[in-house]
């Protein structure tokens, strides 16, 4: 197939769409990726891209078409401009850059914002190609959960936009079974909805490193709880900080934050003002290749989301990678994410937003014998390889796309 992938985020940004592109090209498909300039999650265009943009024109045999966008920055106005600029550039610049290319199907990697699918729908009309969405974030509900939009009128307008997008898509893949009912509210034909969860990255399937970087060694023999990923509002760092403060008298428990994001300045400020430096290490953004070693050097892997009904429907993307790493999870989640961790018997779970209970579960896990924690990690890895197998999931997607092209 000749597949156009539309994603506002792509390599060198670290998202699962990168591995999907690699897998599709390895299976013999001709893949073109339409994306913006790499600036997630820091909000600044990557320095390595600015120095040598031509080096980022191809990835695993797929050609990359980039359109100009406003970087995310650190405030909501710039973020809105970032979203809007991709829609405009994707709808005006992209068709010109894609002129003459034959496309059989368009696949949209749809984390926020949902507006990133609008250029795909336009290009689909121009190329007479069906459009499939992979929905990983539910709009307009996420806007409400994060407090971005409170106006009922605006939310109603966004809801109509969501319905417009879903109804014009030939297939809608959702990352959680709990998403199905929400998406079905906006479409006439619920038969077009398919369950497609995320998977653990290839680096975790290939094998696991035995040690982390020197920065982990400097922490010593403390019980290490590691958070890796986006440092944003949805991850509820106020509750995490509450847990850390509750354990001031437990210097043997150390918290490590790996990643970047819009809430990182807040986190840095709070750690300093609350005098938590002895309990917390902020390691910044690290390449995906280092993650297996970092994870294996930790005693527990932390995943969290804010307490909101919409987030209870979500399986955070890091859960699959954490499970595959073979390290126990410490989860402050509700709903689907909590269910997966509990079902895998891979760690301890507490309600979303409950920092005090997170602290209690951290102490409980730290007091669990190493042999039992090893069994938790092994059960998690087995569950990930069984339920979130990358090859099986991509095969399922591939079959669906072939059927969409044939029937389109």
Prediction pTM value: 0.86
Query: Which pLDDT tens digit goes with each residue over 18-38?
Result: 999 999 999 999 999 999 999
Query: Which pLDDT tens digit goes with each residue over 35-94?
Result: 999 999 888 999 999 999 999 999 999 999 999 999 988 788 898 899 999 999 999 999
Count of alpha carbons within 13 Å of 302, Cβ hemisphere only?
32
Q: Quick check: 344 and 231 in contact, CB under 8 A?
A: no
Q: Quick check: 280 and 250 in contact, CB under 8 A?
A: no
Place of tokens 């990255």: 201
Structural tokens at position 3: 């597949």
DSSP state of 348: E
CA atoms of 265 and 348, how far apart (whole Å)? 29
CA atoms of 140 and 186, how far apart (whole Å)? 11
Smallest Cα–Cα separation from 109: which of 178, 177, 24? 24
Count of CB atoms within 10 A of residue 241's CB? 19
CA atoms of 45 and 43, how far apart (whole Å)? 7
- Could you give the angle at the alpha carbon of 84 between the alpha carbons of 82 and 87, nearest 5°? 115
Residue 77's pLDDT is what? 87
Residue 164 CA from chain centroid, whole number: 24
CA atoms of 194 and 269, how far apart (whole Å)? 42
Mean pLDDT of the region 253-280: 94
CA atoms of 302 and 144, how far apart (whole Å)? 25
Mean pLDDT of the region 232-253: 96
CA atoms of 168 and 156, how far apart (whole Å)? 19
Query: Which pLDDT tens digit goes with each residue over 188-229?
Result: 788 899 999 999 887 776 655 555 566 677 788 899 999 999
């Amino acid at each position: 197939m000749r597949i156009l992938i539309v994603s506002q985020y792509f390599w060198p940004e670290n998202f699962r769409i990168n591995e999907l592109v690699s897998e599709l090209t390895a299976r013999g498909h001709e893949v073109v990726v339409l994306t913006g300039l790499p600036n997630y999650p820091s909000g600044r265009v990557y320095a390595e891209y600015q120095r040598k943009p031509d080096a980022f024109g191809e990835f695993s045999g797929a050609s990359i078409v980039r359109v100009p966008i406003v970087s995310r920055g650190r405030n909501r106005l710039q973020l809105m401009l970032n979203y809007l600029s991709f829609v405009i550039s994707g709808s005006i610049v992209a068709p010109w850059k894609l002129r003459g290319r034959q496309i059989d199907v368009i696949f949209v990697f749809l984390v926020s914002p949902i507006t990133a699918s609008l250029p795909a729908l336009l290009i689909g009309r121009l190329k007479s190609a069906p459009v499939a969405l992979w929905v990983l974030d539910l709009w307009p509900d996420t806007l409400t959960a994060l407090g971005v939009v409170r106006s009922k009128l605006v939310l109603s307008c966004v809801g109509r936009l969501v319905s417009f997008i879903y109804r014009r898509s030939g297939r809608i893949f959702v990352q959680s079974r709990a998403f199905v009912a929400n998406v079905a509210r906006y479409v006439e034909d619920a038969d077009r909805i398919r369950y497609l969860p995320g998977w653990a990255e290839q680096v975790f399937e290939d094998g696991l490193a035995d040690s982390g970087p020197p920065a982990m060694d400097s922490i010593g023999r403390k019980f290490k709880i590691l958070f890796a990923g986006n440092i944003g509002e949805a991850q509820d760092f106020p509750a995490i900080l509450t847990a850390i403060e509750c354990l001031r008298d437990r210097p043997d428990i150390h918290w490590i934050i790996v990643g970047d994001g819009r809430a990182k300045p807040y986190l840095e400020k709070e750690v300093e003002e609350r005098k938590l430096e002895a309990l917390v290490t902020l390691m910044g953004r690290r390449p995906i290749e280092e993650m297996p070693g970092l994870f294996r050097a930790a005693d527990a892997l932390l995943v969290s989301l804010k307490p909101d009904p919409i987030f209870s429907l979500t399986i955070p993307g890091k859960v699959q990678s954490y499970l595959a790493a073979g390290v126990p999870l410490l989860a402050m989640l509700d709903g689907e994410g909590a269910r997966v961790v509990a079902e895998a018997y891979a760690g301890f779970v507490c309600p979303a937003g409950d920092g005090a209970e997170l602290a209690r579960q951290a102490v409980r896990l730290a007091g669990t014998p190493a042999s039992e924690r090893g069994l938790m990690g092994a059960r998690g890895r087995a569950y990930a390889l069984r339920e979130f197998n990358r090859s099986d999931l991509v095969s399922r997607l591939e079959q669906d796309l072939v059927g969409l092209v044939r029937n389109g």
